[in-house]
């Protein structure tokens, strides 16, 4: 079959979304269910249902994006964040259930894969994709290959001994603590009280409010410093910024980030590297999961 | 030949060192000359002489480590630091002169390759090697391969808007500006006046001087934060710290760095990742260059 169909499954803390994706990355059909909270068995049963729902199509492979690190070498799922999955060979589980080639990848890496193959990074060789939402995720494409390691881009230290991360991370001054929807919520509350949030901060900055613009500019400045670190490590062709907060904020973040990048990056990245918005939006996770399945299909061929 | 000999050339700002290295990484013979300052032609002539000096041995390949970024894809030398080499296909130049397989690599990457193959990182799959000297260099081994990109580990931002780098880098708060021989020189001068330097700082800290110990501990703390960033990006099996200042300082730096790493790294790296001293010392550059030549030989075979 020249354009086989693949099922992608995007496993999130509240929702499991699955769908049928064609070779061009189009979502032909999709559905969603709540992520069961009580046990790994319940989550696995939900995943099985989310895949089975689309097997009436001629499916050639399955790909899953999961909010977990995978063990280097084995691909074993170590410990998911906000989902009851831990210490599990999820690829083998799904493969044995359905007898199809299966790929499993960290969800942020899968979304970066989608942005590379089908979004703002099309045709490039080395790419940094940052997802600024409640937290900060991301992925790396290095020399024409998705980097399969942790790539926890939100947990680089940008300000030693700075504000603490939330949740399981014990670090301080990480990018996620300084530039994220959560950090923007906090900035908004400091300015306007308990009911204010990131959405209001972005809205008021867009309307010209000086205090809001200053907070957004400071976050953009810090974002640009972190991007400078990535530039000096990887010399990427492009940096792509997505995620709900990243897309909503747009140039309020990206303009000051570009200015900071010019200072922090070594030549010649300093002159030529740009930071642009992601293109795929909320579908990146599902499409990326399907691309991971497509890669498993190619390995099996 | 089962153990072919390779010439390694370590091109530094003041000295070009070259030698014959066997398959076990032993330096059988070596020599050095001053690095000509005036022109690229003079440097190339010196490199030619440094190689020709050892051609009476049965040489199978040549490897060079250069203080320059190489262009991704082509391997072209972009712009060397403190050496008159720029915009040049050095590999082709040497190959055409001697008719042997030739490899060229960034000098810090070459030293990391040596520490991986023959030093503290033997047998591991993913490794971060940091070289703390006058400046900070380093290299990455990712999933069993030397990463051929920039890997300018000394130019990650650890303290946004912190102290400036020296030389061509316009950035602020980079690891190199905060933890290096140069940063230690500055700390010593602040404590004891213009004649004090990094060597005195380390010596006094080892003798129990409280102010010296506090400065070393602060540098180790910042080093550990940067290592935390690398842990969260790459999940390495081990972090190796070398370089003149790094080796002299030893546990004065590494103990506080390990403590900071415990805080900054995500689980499970937090519990299991260690930071250890490099093993190869000042020979790492020459041996690494020879290993780069050996890789070129294997590609040619």
Split into its structural domains, chain A has a count of: 2
Pick among B68, B167, B225 to test the A interface (most A CBs inside 10 A):
B225
pLDDT tens digit sequence for A54-86: 999 999 999 999 999 999 889 999 999 889 999
Which pLDDT value is given to residue B1?
46
ipTM score:
0.94
Question: What does chain B come to in residues?
Answer: 301
pLDDT tens digit sequence for A126-172: 999 999 998 999 999 999 999 998 999 999 999 999 999 988 899 99
Residues B78 and B138 in one domain: no
Asked if residue B25 has pLDDT above 80, the reply is: yes
Which chain A positions have a beta carbon within 8 Å of B145's beta carbon?
none
* Nearest 10 degrees: Cα torsion A203, A208, A209, A214: 90
Asked if residue A91 has pLDDT above 50, the reply is: yes
Give the H/E segment covering residue A63.
Answer: strand A59-66
Cβ contact A273:A224 at 8 Å: no
Residue of A85, A45, A93, A91 lying closest to A68 (CA atoms): A85
Residues A144 and A271 in one domain: yes
Asked if residue A114 has pLDDT above 70, the reply is: yes
Q: Show the domain range for A78.
A: 5-111+282-300
Tell me, yes or no, whether A201 lies in a domain: yes
Residue B61, helix vs strand vs coil: strand
Q: What percentage of chain A has pLDDT greater than the value 90? A: 91
Cα B282 to Cα B280: distance, rounded to the nearest angstrom: 7
Cα B112 to Cα B278: distance, rounded to the nearest angstrom: 10
Asked if residue B2 has pLDDT above 70, the reply is: no
Which pLDDT value is given to residue B301?
85
Which residues have a Cβ under 8 Å from the Cβ of A15 and sit 6 or more positions away?
A32, A33, A34, A35
Of A158, A225, A235, the CB nearest to B150: A235
Compute CA B301 distance to the chain's CA centroid, rounded to the nearest angstrom: 28
> Is B229 close to A156, i.e. CB distance below 8 A?
yes
Structure tokens at B52: 């020709």
Give the burial class of A87: count Cβ atoms within 10 A of its Cβ; 0-12 exposed, 13-18 middle, 19 or more buried.
exposed
Which pLDDT value is given to residue A81?
86
Q: Average pLDDT of B233-257? A: 96
Window 198-257 of B, Cβ < 8 Å to A: 221-222, 225-226, 228-229, 232-235
Residues B260 and B133 in one domain: yes
Asked if residue B18 has pLDDT above 50, the reply is: yes
pTM above 0.90, yes or no: yes
Q: Pairing relation of β-strands B145-146 and B136-142?
A: antiparallel
Which pLDDT value is given to residue A167?
84
- State the angle between helix axes of B198-206 and B251-264 in degrees (0 to 180), rounded to the nearest 10: 90
Tell me, yes or no, whether A116 lies in a domain: no
Question: CB-based contact (8 Å) between B149 and chain A?
Answer: yes
Q: Average pLDDT of B209-234? A: 98
DSSP single-letter state for residue B159:
B
Asked if residue A2 has pLDDT above 70, the reply is: no
pLDDT tens digit sequence for B100-144: 999 999 999 999 999 999 999 999 999 999 999 989 999 999 999
pLDDT tens digit sequence for B39-51: 999 999 999 999 9
CATH number at residue A103: 3.30.420.40
Which pLDDT value is given to residue A1?
45
Residues A136 and A195 in one domain: yes
Residues A288 and A274 in one domain: no
Cβ contact A293:A130 at 8 Å: no
> Is A266 close to B169, i.e. CB distance below 8 A?
yes
Which pairs from B161-166 meet CB under 8 Å and 24+ separation?
B161/A225
Which pLDDT value is given to residue A204?
98
Window 163-182 of A, Cβ < 8 Å to B: 168-174
Task: Give the largest CA-CA distance in chain B.
Answer: 58
Tell me, yes or no, whether A117 lies in a domain: no
Which pairs from B94-99 meet CB under 8 Å and 24+ separation?
B94/B47, B94/B51, B94/B62, B94/B64, B97/B48, B97/B51, B98/B51, B98/B55, B98/B62
């Amino acid at each position: 079959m020249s354009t086989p169909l693949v099922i992608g499954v995007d496993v999130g803390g509240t929702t499991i979304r699955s769908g049928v994706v064609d070779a061009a990355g189009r979502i032909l059909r999709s559905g969603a269910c709540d992520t069961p909270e009580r046990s790994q068995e319940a989550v696995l049963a939900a995943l099985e249902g989310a895949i089975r729902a689309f097997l009436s199509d001629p499916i050639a492979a399955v790909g899953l994006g999961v909010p977990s690190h995978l063990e280097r070498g084995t691909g074993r799922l170590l410990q998911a964040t906000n989902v009851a999955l831990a210490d599990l060979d999820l690829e083998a589980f799904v493969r044995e259930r359905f007898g199809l080639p299966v790929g499993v990848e960290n969800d942020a890496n899968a979304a970066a894969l989608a942005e590379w193959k089908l979004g703002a990074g099309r045709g490039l060789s080395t790419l940094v994709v940052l997802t600024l939402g409640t937290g900060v995720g991301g992925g790396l494409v290095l020399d024409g290959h998705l980097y399969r390691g942790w790539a926890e881009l939100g947990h680089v230290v940008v300000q030693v001994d700075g504000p603490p991360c939330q949740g399981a991370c014990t670090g301080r001054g990480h990018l996620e603590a300084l530039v994220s929807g959560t950090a923007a919520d906090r900035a908004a509350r400091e300015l306007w009280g308990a009911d204010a949030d990131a959405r209001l901060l972005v809205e008021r900055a867009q309307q010209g409010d000086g205090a809001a613009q200053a907070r957004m500019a400071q976050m953009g400045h810090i974002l640009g410093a972190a991007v400078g670190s990535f530039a000096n490590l990887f010399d990427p062709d492009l940096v792509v910024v997505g995620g709900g907060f990243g897309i909503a904020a747009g140039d309020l973040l990206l303009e000051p980030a570009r200015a900071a990048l010019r200072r922090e990056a070594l030549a010649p990245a300093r002159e030529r590297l740009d930071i642009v918005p992601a293109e795929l939006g909320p579908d990146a996770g599902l499409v990326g999961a399907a691309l991971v399945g497509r890669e498993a299909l190619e390995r099996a061929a």
